[in-house]
Structure 1
Amino acid sequence: MMSASAHLCLLACFTLAGGLTLDMGPNQNMEFTFLLSAGTTECFHQTTARNDSMEVEYQVIAGSGLDVGFTLISPSGQRLVSDFRRSDGSHMVDPTEDGDYHLCFDNSFSKLSEKMVFFEVVINSRSSAGRDEWGDVATAEIMVEYKLEDIRARMDSVYLRLEKSRQIQTVLRAFEARARYLLEDNLWRVSFWSCINLFVMLIVAVTQIYTLQRLFDDTKRVCT
């Protein structure tokens, strides 16, 4: 039978999306699935810029109890969020400060079971970096019916909608992986206890047959 560690590794491969590196630059989104060993705490770091907003969402996909502790610490050392033994959570920091935010997941209360955790960090930048090159385009002669700002606003709206759709799809994949783990775990339990019940029924049936045979044998001996 496949071990629990191998099973969790397969689930991690199933749910692992793009952007697996943790050396992320500022104002970049990050999504990651990892195995949190029993009795340990693991921290990740996300660099942010001042006045941006940061959204952190996590959920435990597999592991006994489906719960972990979560702590979000600001670059100045202030503890912003502290969750204890929860299966999922979503937190918003607005606005942020310059520096590295620390995202720590705690499984120290579980001495035997490792957990598979999925988390996503979304940075909503308020600056127009990356798209300011539009301002260098000569619009007076080219754009007749539309202004450049109108086009930029429309493109930003489409971009945000696409990003939101991608985030929802990633979260749904994580939910699907957790549901699959629960179904397979429940199937194993049902099969195990069904075998135990069948074994007990067979023992009871054999015992009853043997008792009846002994009873008839004793009756024949008395009659003779």
Structure 2
Amino acid sequence: MDELQRICISLFGCMAVLLSAVNAFSPNVDSEFTFLLPAARTECFYQTAIHNGSIEIEYQVIAGAGMDVDFSVISPQGIHLISEFRRSDGVHMVEPTEAGDYQICFDNTFSRFSEKMVFFEVIMDNQANDVGVDDEWAGLGEPESLLEYKLEDIRETMDSVHRRLERSRQMQTVLRAFEARDRNLLEDNLWRVSFWSCVNLLVMLSVALTQVYTVRRLFDDKRRVCS
């Protein structure tokens, strides 16, 4: 019975991951994603965009030897808009966008043994949606006053609060990625320091024992007195 429950939980977990992956890159939705890029592999993601919008892409390598990947963005027409090589992070803006699927690729083929953990965020800004929201606000009516506030003032205030909250969320996500990257760097550096400290200690002990042995050999009189 316990085995059956574990299998059911695993299936539900897989379904949740698939649904989140599908929703993460749906059009008109900001998304962030962290994935493991194997050695000698290339991973590409697709983001749907509308005409005359904008896409902001920010990425960071948060774990892996070298902390670097190759990055590229390809337009729906197959044109390489952005290409970077052996970079650990970057921020890029594509505007105005074409209608179609943009290809976001991370390349680790130059590394034969080391896998990389990559975090990236896609921020969508669609002017058509903003216009639709404005039309909805405009169609609510034309009251002279609403609790001594104009409808336009309320809309501007709510839009400002929404933008600031969204920007705060994005900054917190980026700071978490920076924290994970710094932690991995510290752990990697700690391992290196510990390893080379042990090597230096072994070398010092070997040198000390060699010196003691050499000095004792110098004072060791091997001559024998014949009777």
Matched, 1:200 2:203: yes
Contact kept, 8 Å, 2:68 with 2:86, in 1: the verdict is yes
Matched, 1:140 2:140: no
Contact kept, 8 Å, 1:46 with 1:101, in 2: the verdict is yes
Matched, 1:183 2:186: yes
Give the unaligned 5+ runs of structure 2.
1-18
Supply the AA of the counterpart residue of 1:82: S
1:122 matched residue in structure 2:
123
Name the SS for the 1:218 alignment partner: coil
Distance of aligned partners of 1:40 and 1:74 in 2 relative to their CA distance in 1, 3 Å threshold: same
1:57 matched residue in structure 2:
58
TM-score, normalization: structure 2?
0.82
Supply the AA of the counterpart residue of 2:64: G
Name the SS for the 1:217 alignment partner: coil
Distance in 2 of aligned mates of 1:76 and 1:131? 32
Per mean C-alpha deviation after superposition, the further-off stretch among 121-130 and 178-187 is 121-130
Supply the AA of the counterpart residue of 2:99: D
Distance in 2 of aligned mates of 1:222 and 1:90? 82
Aligned residues: 205
Residue 88 (structure 1) shift: 0.9
1:19-62 deviations in Å (ceiling 9; x for gaps): 95244321100101111111111000111122221100111111
Q: How does 1:62-81 map to 2 (within 5 A)?
A: 62-81=63-82
Residue 195 (structure 1) shift: 0.6
Matched, 1:156 2:159: yes
Name the SS for the 2:73 alignment partner: strand
Give the unaligned 5+ runs of structure 1.
1-18
Distance in 1 of aligned mates of 2:166 and 2:81? 25
Contact kept, 8 Å, 1:22 with 1:44, in 2: the verdict is no
Name the SS for the 1:61 alignment partner: strand
Per mean C-alpha deviation after superposition, the further-off stretch among 203-212 and 178-187 is 203-212
2:14 matched residue in structure 1:
none
1:3 matched residue in structure 2:
none
Distance of aligned partners of 1:20 and 1:115 in 2 relative to their CA distance in 1, 3 Å threshold: farther
Supply the AA of the counterpart residue of 2:69: V
RMSD over aligned Cα atoms: 2.2
Distance in 2 of aligned mates of 1:72 and 1:213? 70
